[in-house]
Structure 1
């Protein structure tokens, strides 16, 4: 029978500076487990790696768009073994220049926090990407005018903060 203390690897949403990455390291630390965190483009990609290793677990976020599909499609392989609440990084609206009026600008965002973008642009101009960090990368490359992202991701790509929404109390799940 699998036990939480047997977990050595956490697979979750990347790239670096995602709330999931932060949560994975926190969970390992709080459970006094010396383990490694692996980051993936999607939780669906992460799940494929978890299934290959008896010591690997999946860390999900309760607002991840298809977490319910991951859970119910894998009842024979994974069980929900833990759930915890942790504040996210500060969630922000950022641009790659000093633009303050976004009007018809394209805003890159992960689907989960996309509701934060609606007050700043029309819904047809919201570009969905795989993670908050990916949104920041898209913005830094000029593939969007702005993004909803985490403060560390915005700092990594030297983006300008337009609005700071603060930390958001968030639920994270461990599937093993």
Structure 2
């Protein structure tokens, strides 16, 4: 990028973070800007990338760029930690039969089926597992067994079957 610039060109950046996210990359960009005689001006600290810095300016540049890298690493750490927590809670909800799925009550909590209805659903699920029919016909049959006005979605019936299996109803 800097090779194509004419001599004594100034590049204005919103912040140091816009130049580089790591301290090493920022130093390399500063070295390249000196080599190609292109001045980089950041709005947060305008004299950060001067071509003839004082020892204090060099120190501030290195510390500021290192702080930017630390900030980036902390953001990545927090995001990955949040993602890991989300995966953990999702597994607990879906695999351990928690009563709420994505903040909603489960089908069993909403419909409150009797033990006889649950036994019929188990039999229908066993037939489906044998290959007698697919999820859509199972959804239609389970809707009739549970006396639901509208036909349940196949995914809802699948979750219902998992919940019955997990809770051992």
Provide the TM-score with structure 1 as the length reference.
0.23
Highest RCO, 1 vs 2 (Cα 8 Å, sep ≥ 6): 1
Structure with the greater alpha carbon radius of gyration: 2
Whichever structure has more strand as a proportion of its residues is: 1
